[in-house]
A and B are shown apart, each in its own frame.
Chain A
Amino acid sequence: MTRGSGPRARAPRCNQNSGTQVTDTPMTTLETERTLLARLRAWYSAEDANPTKRVQFDRPLTPWLFVLPQLAVVAIFFYWPSVQAVTSSFYIEDPFGFGSTFVGMENYGDAVTSSQYRDTALFTAFFCVVVTALSLGLGLLLAVKADKVIRGTETYKTLLISVYAIAPPVAGLMGMMFFDMHMGPIKDLFALFGHDLRVGIDYWDTAIALITISVWKQIPYNFIFFLSGLQSVPVPVREAALIDARSGWRRFRDVILPLLAPTAFFLLIINITYTMFDTFPIIDVIVKDKPANNPMTLVYKVYLDGFKGNDIGGSSAQSVILMVVVAALTVLQFRFLERRVHYG
């Protein structure tokens, strides 16, 4: 009985397979030789390769009403300024507002070849590496420990997370007073080691302050993500690891860390973006308007050159360079975001 029904049951399935094969073949060939034109055609028509919903409304006007507010805001406050940034990067504006002259790539050339720009770029890279490494490392360390302890996890968690909500300028203001030359406790701390900390005057002392404050501000964010990553590691996996590896460090290195890798990659990009852009207020509060001999990031230089230096063309050219960098980072981030969702 069972042997007899086997082939019969398989037969229609075979048929179905070949049936889908027929419709599948043109799809795959289309996919392999997908030209820009084909993609444009897909954009034009409402046909989606994999529609988000099986059933959708089919009205000509209603979706526009829904999407219009967002679209208007994006067009006016995103595309317009972005296009303007690109166009004005090719011009030199008259400082007194009497028109502007087209100079081609000159603004870019000036920016890239200026030693000040190169110094700022170097510092930004250094700043990114140090802040990202420290805040990721400390965030991970705290998350691993908070995941491990049984007593008081919630209290630790609340205390460690609460700092997240503090705005960068507030962090900068507090940091400024902690590094203050008259009454700052951190200055006293450095004095114990025989170092005279002079934030705002000495280049590297200011850098220390900027790094400390930026790391302080970013640890909670990394902690939250690492902890939720750790807590999503299934209990059976943990128990199996406990049997396989006796040493806690090996368990962490061989089992937990690979599972955390997607989270870590995601955080890596987020942290680089944070250090490049969101530290602006911290720098503004610490360095204030005395950039003379102080370190700063590329974004701060865009602001200084544009608003204080009135060099709109140069500032725009720097903006565009940054746009390319950050766009590349975001594309990377989306790659990992997909991966993260997939693994999670």
Chain B
Amino acid sequence: MQKIKPLDHLVLILGVLFLCVPVVMALMSSTHYPVDIHSNGLFLTPGDNGLATYTKVLTDRGGFTGDVTGLRMLMNSLIMGVGFAVGKIVLSMMAAYALVYFRFRFATILFWMIFTTLLLPLEVRIMPSYQVMSTLGLLNTYTGLIVPLLASATGTFFFRQFFKSVPDELLEAARIDGAGPWKFFIDVLVPLSKTMMAAIFIIMFIYGWNQYLWPLLMTTDEHFYTLMRGIKSILQVWVGSQIPDYNEAFALAVLAMLPPVAVVVIFQRMFIKGLTESDK
């Protein structure tokens, strides 16, 4: 086989350093005092202010109404991530099932109606989307945060591909046994898709958790702020204060990145599967 060259390891180590040192520095700096950070720069070693900082960020009531805590934002982010992932799986599995397993009028036109959504990301239609949401009275609601993001066919596309690969014999056998469409869906397809659902869940959870622009527009009420939205407001507070609370900003960043990173590291295999097979 090939020889191991130290150069290969060097390149990899440099790559790892480039990607991971900022994360480590953010984590370590969040445990120091803002004054120390201001005068000494960022840290690569832990400090002794960590507990206080995180307690403050998580439980201190801040914002304009003085009512929103980090814990609340964490919960909102969780609702957003889980709600989005679950909604996506339910909607897209059902739609894909109808498109693959049924012979019905307009099926092709429906297929194209749904898949055109892949053409335009939310960012290019933010302004009118905002207007639609305000017409519907969905600003500052969880529905308004989650449901509009479901209007894309990524999941449907993925489940359609998967259903197409399920052997036809299964349906034939189920029909001989007298199973109708509902029974076949619940008793055969859903259990069969478990791994796929888990993979999609991971991808979509991260996607939902990491949403920035949409929560920024949709929420003016601080009770609905997610961590990403909190980052925006912590930056707005910065303008004008003498020594910014660097440690708190870093702590907020750490809180915002920890759950998705943990999910990726723990479910790495499933995550890669979901990512490379769903393609988007």
Cβ–Cβ contact B235 & A173, under 8 A: yes
Contact indicator B213/A280 (Cβ below 8 Å): yes
With A80-B132, A148-B8, A167-B209: A319-B232 Cβ-Cβ less than 8 Å: no
Report if A295 contacts B (CB, 8 A).
no
The 8 A CB mask of A325-344 against B (1 = contact, 0 = none) is 01100110000010000000
- A132 neighbours in B (Cβ, 8 Å): none
Q: Which of A53, A82, A152, A169 contacts B128 (CB 8 A)?
A: A82
Interface string of B1-28 (1 = CB under 8 A from A): 1101000110110011011101101100
Closest-CB distance, A107 to chain B (whole angstroms): 13
- Does residue B151 face the partner (Cβ distance < 8 Å to A)? yes
Cα A46 to Cα B147 in complex, Å, equals: 30
Nearest chain B CB to A49 CB, angstrom units: 9
**Interface-lining segment among A7-15, A29-37, A62-70, A117-125:** A62-70
Q: A77-B148, A163-B23 are in contact. Are A56 and B123 (CB under 8 A)?
A: no
Q: In chain B between 83 and 115, which residues have their CB closer than 8 angstroms to a CB of chain A?
A: 90-92, 94-95, 97-110, 113-114
Interface of A is mostly: helix
Stretch at the interface among A153-161, A191-199, A203-211, A253-261: A153-161
Contact flags A290-334 to B (C-beta < 8 A → 1, else 0): 000000000100110011000010011001001100110011000
> Which residue of A57, A141, A280, A323 has the most chain B CB atoms within 10 A of its CB atom?
A57
Contact A77 B132 (CB under 8 A): yes
Give the residue of A167, A182, A277, A288 whose beta carbon is less than 8 angstroms from that of B38. A182
- The yes or no answer to B171 lying at the interface (CB within 8 A) is yes
Residues of chain B contacted by A326 (CB below 8 angstroms): 119-121, 124
Complex formed: what's the CA distance from A156 to B9 in Å?
10
* B188 interface hit (Cβ, 8 Å): no
Distance (whole angstroms) from the CB of B266 to the closest CB of chain A? 10
Residue of B nearest to A62 (CB): B181
Checking B16, B128, B136 against A316 with a beta-carbon cut-off of 8 angstroms, the contacting residue is B128
B264 at the interface (CB under 8 A from A): yes
Beyond A46-B107, A173-B253, A174-B23, list 18 extra A-B contacts (CB 8 Å).
A45-B105, A46-B105, A53-B168, A56-B101, A64-B98, A66-B94, A67-B95, A73-B148, A76-B132, A77-B132, A145-B12, A161-B272, A164-B264, A167-B256, A177-B250, A225-B276, A277-B124, A306-B126
- Residues of A whose CB lies within 8 Å of any CB of B are 42-46, 48, 51-60, 62-64, 66-67, 69-71, 73-74, 76-82, 84-85, 88, 138, 141-142, 145-146, 148-152, 156-170, 173-178, 182-185, 188, 216, 219-220, 224-225, 228, 242, 248, 266, 270, 273, 277, 280-281, 284-285, 288, 299, 302-303, 306-307, 312, 315-316, 319, 322-323, 326-327, 330-331, 337
Which B residues form the contact surface with A (CB < 8 A)? Answer: 1-2, 4, 8-9, 11-12, 15-16, 18-20, 22-23, 25-26, 29, 37-42, 90-92, 94-95, 97-110, 113-114, 116-121, 123-132, 136, 147-148, 150-153, 156, 160, 163-164, 168, 171-172, 175, 181-182, 185, 206, 209-210, 212-213, 216-217, 228, 231-232, 235, 246, 249-250, 252-253, 256-257, 260-261, 263-265, 268, 271-272, 275-276, 279-280
3 tightest Cβ-Cβ pairs between the two chains A and B: A167-B210, A165-B260, A66-B98
